[in-house]
């Protein structure tokens, strides 16, 4: 929510997306003091086709998104040797495939608008995979590669894509405080110079 708040304060219209709108109303209410327009929609990243359909409806109704932040991750402890095919596929759908689908659906609207930024949240597991967090480690590595390729494809259209790698554990009150990380997202979307395929937040 810190990222949503930072963009709302910065003047963006914010759309919160989650599997269920049940708790989103309360979360949206916490942003009321920003004065920004806050929308909520239900869409499940474990269902890439369904997510794509919901995003398509959103963009048809509200126009091209200026910025997309993809932050979904299944994030459960698991190991490759004991993970079922169904589990591996479900994790990959959430961690990687749905991010690609969101970009596929957003790209035409962003092309028509002549601009757009897509940021995916990366993690240190892409650099240092952990066997006990197997699908997260695989997902973050694949997500970074996907973002790099999407960026190469979309750069000629004026659309910027990048991974923002959070290289540490997010804990309030530490150097990896959510508000500090949110500020890094804000800095990235306002980059005026050369774009990068990957930006990092190291807590410094």
Alpha-carbon distance of 4 to 119, in angstroms, equals 13
What is the bridge-based pairing of β-strands 159-166 and 198-201?
A: parallel
pLDDT above 90 as % of the chain: 90
Alpha-carbon distance of 202 to 204, in angstroms, equals 6
Local structure of 177: helix, strand or coil: coil
What is the bridge-based pairing of β-strands 116-123 and 67-70?
A: parallel
pLDDT tens string 122-147: 999 999 999 999 999 999 999 999 99
19, 43 Cβ separation under 8 angstroms? yes
- Model pTM score: 0.95
Alpha-carbon distance of 178 to 183, in angstroms, equals 9
Q: Which residues does the chain have with pLDDT short of 70?
A: none
pLDDT tens string 100-130: 999 999 999 999 999 999 999 999 999 999 9
- How many CA atoms lie within 13 Å of 48's alpha carbon, on the beta-carbon side? 17
Burial class (CB in 10 A: 0-12, 13-18, 19+), 176: middle
- Tell me what pLDDT residue 48 has: 97
- Tell me what pLDDT residue 22 has: 77
Domains (range + CATH), the chain: 64-201 (3.40.50.720)
DSSP calls for 51-91:
HHHHHHHHHHHH---SEEEE-------B-GGG--HHHHHHH
- Tell me what pLDDT residue 63 has: 87
């Amino acid at each position: 929510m810190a990222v949503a708040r930072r963009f709302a304060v910065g003047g963006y219209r914010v759309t919160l997306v989650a599997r269920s709108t049940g708790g989103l109303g309360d979360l949206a209410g916490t942003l009321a003091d920003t004065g920004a327009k806050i929308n909520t929609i239900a869409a499940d990243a474990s269902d890439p086709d369904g997510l794509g359909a919901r995003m398509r409806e959103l963009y048809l109704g509200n126009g091209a998104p200026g910025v997309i932040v993809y932050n979904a991750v299944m994030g459960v402890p698991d190991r490759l040797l004991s993970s079922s095919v169904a589990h591996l596929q479900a994790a990959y759908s959430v961690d990687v495939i749905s991010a690609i689908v969101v970009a596929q659906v957003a790209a035409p609207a962003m092309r028509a608008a002549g601009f757009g930024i897509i940021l995916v949240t990366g993690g240190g597991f892409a650099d240092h995979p952990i066997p006990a967090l197997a699908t997260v480690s695989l997902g973050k590595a694949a997500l970074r590669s996907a973002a790099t390729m999407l960026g190469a494809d979309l750069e000629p259209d004026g659309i910027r894509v990048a991974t923002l790698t959070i290289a540490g554990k997010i804990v309030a009150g530490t150097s990896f405080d959510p508000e500090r990380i949110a500020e890094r997202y804000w800095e990235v979307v306002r980059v005026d110079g050369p774009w990068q395929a990957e930006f990092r937040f190291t807590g410094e």
